[in-house]
A and B are shown apart, each in its own frame.
Chain A
Amino acid sequence: MPSSDIQTVFPTEADSQVGQYRLFELPPELLKIIEESDPANLDLSIRGRTTDNAVLCTNSKTYNIRAVSVSNTFFVGTSPTYQEEIHSSAVTGDKLVIRDSINQIFELVPCVPKIERFDAMFRGQEYSEQDEDGSDEEEEEDSVDHLLERPLKRRKVTYDDLLADVQASDTELRNALKQSHILSINSHLRPIAPAYLTHILVLVLNTLSTIPSQRSQGKVKIPDITEPLEFEHHIPREVTTQVLEWFGITTNGEWEMDQLEVVKAVGYGTLMKYKERSVDQIQFIDEWAEAVGDAYAEHVGLKILEGNYLSNSTANGVQLKFFPSSELPADPATRFADLFLTRPRWSAEDIVPFLKSIAVDAKERDKLLLKFARPVTENGTVWYTARTTHL
């Protein structure tokens, strides 16, 4: 069968492509994305700083890239180019040019977006009442600083900076901006000061109660809220508009409030005051209910603030203390160390809310618990204590 023989050859040196090829194992959902999307709109990229472990981002998901060395060799072969075909008359017949040999395959493992860098990037940039006049007095820092890959304290952050620095996909990034309550003011991103946000939300709730139509259909015209807030309380329209977008659905200039989210945010803002000293649970609930008003008091409940407080049963009732999981380290080992420093032992029910942001699912969370904590069962309750380490 000489007709099916294929001559394998090395490429001509000038056209050497050695070291240019990479092999990526595709998880099924990623294969689907690549095969089904329009090649021109395929949105895939590798992201991170040069010192980070690289991640691959699709439009909506983030994957850790893990290099796996293999003992076998993979050869990447292609047919010759038209040019090579002309120049290599020595061998005739079908040819396969071995372009590269590879001993490493990259695996892609889904991971949670690494948005913890937000904190460092936005430090000192909080937008609060003092910024209401809208003046933009700060001079832009010399852009050479950007080359140092270290945002200076007062350098303003744009969305492009985030793309370059934060290892998360576009969708995850936009969600994270929304969830972290980051305002875009003149295309600069600035997180809203939590106390200021609570202030705005309480004003929004108050304003809503004065609009009669809200009762009937649940939707209000956006200017009905932004205008009173701007004229009576000097809150810039662009700020209110973005706040409304975070806490509801805006369609055709109308806003439908996500009641639960608003109540939650007000609760968070109220809870924040109790970072140093604890507060009685009943007193806190009362204060929270009062802030949101009678109409929304039904949503008030500690369950929605899970992962943001520590509760302690004392003789005088349950005491709460502000303890947000967003301020805990993102690295599992240090997060567990922090948790066990705060409290030597945790019930399963208490610790789980603080692990939500570092594990993609329950399975991964249990793996982390297994690795970093020791379970002890006592009267049917599972308690976790720190694993003894000799570090």
Chain B
Amino acid sequence: MQIPIRFPNNGQVPNESSSSLTPLPPQLATLGTGEVVLIEMQGSLEVEGDKSNGFIGVLNVDDDKTTMRIGHHLLEGKIASLAKPIAVLRKTETKASNPAAHEAGLDVPVSEPSFDIVSIAKRKIVFSKRPVPIVRYVDLGSSRSKGR
């Protein structure tokens, strides 16, 4: 078996069809070539119920500080360079009939997997610490001034 790996949109201008991606926000666009952002986190993201179209949290990327707020948790992280760049591959399947099977009269459509290199990430956003609970979301400075 041979599974091809393609590099479809290297330096190409993406066409604006409905399934193509909108441009990345500018502060994320510098993380690598291509369209993908890699975010590394400890543990995993536990979600209850239906995830579709669900809101996860707010990511704030700045030069000096990167934070992610998920519910009542705040993650602090940074943009780090990857020691070795990571190729992000996406599996695509094209329906094709197996020529050998076709000759034998067995026209079984087989899906032929292939991979697209969607991005070569050279940097990642890494949240290496445990999340800090946010006790009160209201800005401390303003709440203090209100109390006086």
Contacts and interface: CB of A to CB of B under 8 A. Distances in A.
Interface of A: 1, 4-14, 16-17, 19-28, 31, 34-35, 39, 42, 44-50, 56, 71-83, 85-86, 88, 90-91, 94, 96, 98, 101, 103, 105, 142-144, 146-147, 163-164
Contacts, number: 207
Given A20-B91, A45-B2, A85-B22, A13 B53 contact: yes
Interface of B: 1-12, 16-25, 27-28, 35-45, 47, 50-62, 68, 84-91, 98, 100-101, 103-104, 106, 115, 117-118, 120, 124
A147 B101 contact: yes
A163 B27 CA distance: 44
Nearest to A93: B25
A47 B2 contact: yes
A94 B91 contact: no
7 closest cross-chain pairs (CB), A and B: A13-B52, A94-B25, A44-B5, A83-B18, A46-B3, A39-B10, A75-B39
Given A31-B120, A76-B38, A49 B21 contact: no
Contacts of B12: 39
Given A9-B53, A45-B5, A144-B104, A75 B18 contact: no
Contacts of A28: 84
A10 B44 contact: no
Main secondary structure of the interface of A (DSSP, over half): mixed
A101 B45 contact: yes
A34 B120 contact: yes
B19 A81 contact: yes
B30 to A, nearest CB: 13
B103 A143 contact: yes
Contacts of B104: 142-144, 147
- Which of A17, A77, A146 has the largest count of B CB atoms less than 10 A from its CB? A77
Given A73-B43, A74-B39, 19 more contacts: A1-B62, A10-B53, A11-B53, A25-B85, A39-B6, A39-B8, A39-B11, A47-B1, A47-B2, A49-B1, A73-B42, A74-B40, A77-B36, A79-B35, A80-B22, A81-B22, A82-B17, A82-B22, A147-B98
